[in-house]
A and B are shown apart, each in its own frame.
Chain A
């Protein structure tokens, strides 16, 4: 019970101090709008919103979660307020779960902003919501843990931003968000399959535009495996780097 009081208050604190701050809320709106507009303008013909939606949703989660967690954790490390959390009698797994939960929720909310926009301009009937929700959640988890990995590896806030982009931009092209994985050169495809976002985007494609190329029974276990693996690696990394 005591641990859950701490967990809940860390989550509330992060929500209040970071995720519900106007710049972050506007980020959640501006980013998906910018991506959608970019594709509208680029296409110069009628855009199939359904085909675009999985990619925009995935990017909204990826850019939202990695940035916000990497930056806030690095900021708390710099101001030493994170030390206060490490000194609390709270299991490290639960502490990191509390720290990542806020970013995961932020990512999930971000993912549905493009869906709201899409609903205004196209008919979204026939979407398979259960796999969509599962995929959104797992993409948010893996992206957040990527942000945690970045936070553990850097010292300064600006480094966190730079390092985040080092991972994120290649993922846009390698994860089949806008260019199908089958369309990539053969030598790049192995890279696609070691990225969790590939599987998340594939679930969204299967559930929104019915053009995923792997079975959901393959995508989900792999994505879940990535989530568990990244969490274990992140905790190990935190222990090695921050409690050395």
Chain B
């Protein structure tokens, strides 16, 4: 993430953005910013307003009120200027079935005014980088779902955009392709591209994003870095200890010795210690050493982003994921 004097530079600025479709308010007084160089996660269930927000930012929809800016350009009045520096990868691959991979990339380059030699060179390089060099001459319709997603992402960055909008990039594709796409996203970000990522895969956001916004019913309910979001819901400290032998008979004596800590069994060889305050592990280690019970592993258990999401939004994350996956199936 690029940091300049006085803090990060905002590449996206949204202020009190509202989008209504008739009586339905899809996005309600949304305010947030995306820092240049970061991977920004936009997380929420179906119908939360994620795609509507992207549509306003990319010029496919007009805001009812409020302001949205990309790289300083007003998305209502200067959208064509803003589109020059944006790459957009929609939730469904929308390239031309009749064209092969190479032709699709070249056509997308031409849409950004790239000259023939320039776009052909870039297309060849991208096909190679995305592992599609051999498939470059195959028609798009013959591609697998994973290959289609990869080519659609390649098409989104043919003109080397400053910011890439990725709408559900790994929905409905196989595990190997999804992993490859996540690696590509990280690689792009390392090379300096800001990523605006919408996803329903909480673990994907957890793995990739520098900052995350939770959006529910058209409103942002929380925004922050992973640490900030975790800290907010982390009400207790949990340490997990793993042993080589059965430790269940020791649980009650351990509890008696350390009354301030709640001791829980998690299988015969695992104990979990919970406390409202940070724990010093030395007395615990001594306790087990005296009883000749070596501790194989001691690990701080943090809440997952999924737990954070559920606590903050009150939504069932798994249900949200299943809903989306059901929709994403061909």
Chain A residues engaging chain B, CB cutoff 8 angstroms: 1-3, 5-6, 8-10, 13, 16-17, 79-81, 83-91, 243-244
Q: Are A5 and B81 in contact (CB under 8 A)?
A: no
Q: Are A243 and B59 in contact (CB under 8 A)?
A: yes
Q: Which residue of A lies closest to B85 (CB)?
A: A89
In the bound complex, residues from chain A placing their C-beta under 8 Å from that of B107 are 9, 13
Bound-state CA distance A1–B110 (Å) is: 11
B61 on interface, CB distance cutoff 8 Å: yes
Question: Size range of the interface on B?
Answer: 20 to 34
Q: Which residue of A lies closest to B83 (CB)?
A: A89
In the bound complex, residues from chain B placing their C-beta under 8 Å from that of A87 are 58-60, 83, 86, 88
Beyond known contacts A84-B111, A85-B111: 4 more, CB 8 A cutoff: A1-B113, A6-B110, A9-B107, A13-B96
A-B contact count (CB 8 A): 68
Q: Are A84 and B108 in contact (CB under 8 A)?
A: yes
In the bound complex, residues from chain A placing their C-beta under 8 Å from that of B110 are 5-6, 8-9
Q: In chain B between 84 and 103, which residues have their CB closer than 8 angstroms to a CB of chain A?
A: 84, 86, 88, 90, 92, 94-99
In the bound complex, residues from chain B placing their C-beta under 8 Å from that of A81 are 94-96
Q: Are B94 and A6 in contact (CB under 8 A)?
A: no
Interface majority SS (helix, strand, loop, mixed), chain A: helix
Instruction: Select which of B80, B98, B112 is within 8 A of A17 by beta carbon.
Output: B98
A130 CB to closest chain B CB (Å) equals 35
In the bound complex, residues from chain B placing their C-beta under 8 Å from that of A8 are 110
In the bound complex, residues from chain B placing their C-beta under 8 Å from that of A86 are 59-60
**Residue among B83, B112, B113 with the most chain A CB within 10 A?**
B113
A152 CB to closest chain B CB (Å) equals 15
In the bound complex, residues from chain B placing their C-beta under 8 Å from that of A84 are 94-95, 108, 111, 155
Would you list 17 pairs from A and B whose C-beta atoms are within 8 A, ordered by A residue? A2-B113, A5-B110, A5-B115, A8-B110, A10-B111, A13-B99, A79-B94, A84-B94, A84-B95, A84-B111, A84-B155, A87-B88, A88-B83, A89-B84, A243-B61, A244-B21, A244-B61
In the bound complex, residues from chain B placing their C-beta under 8 Å from that of A91 are 80
Q: Are B92 and A80 in contact (CB under 8 A)?
A: yes
Q: Are B111 and A244 in contact (CB under 8 A)?
A: no
B114 on interface, CB distance cutoff 8 Å: yes
B62 on interface, CB distance cutoff 8 Å: yes
Q: Are B60 and A243 in contact (CB under 8 A)?
A: yes
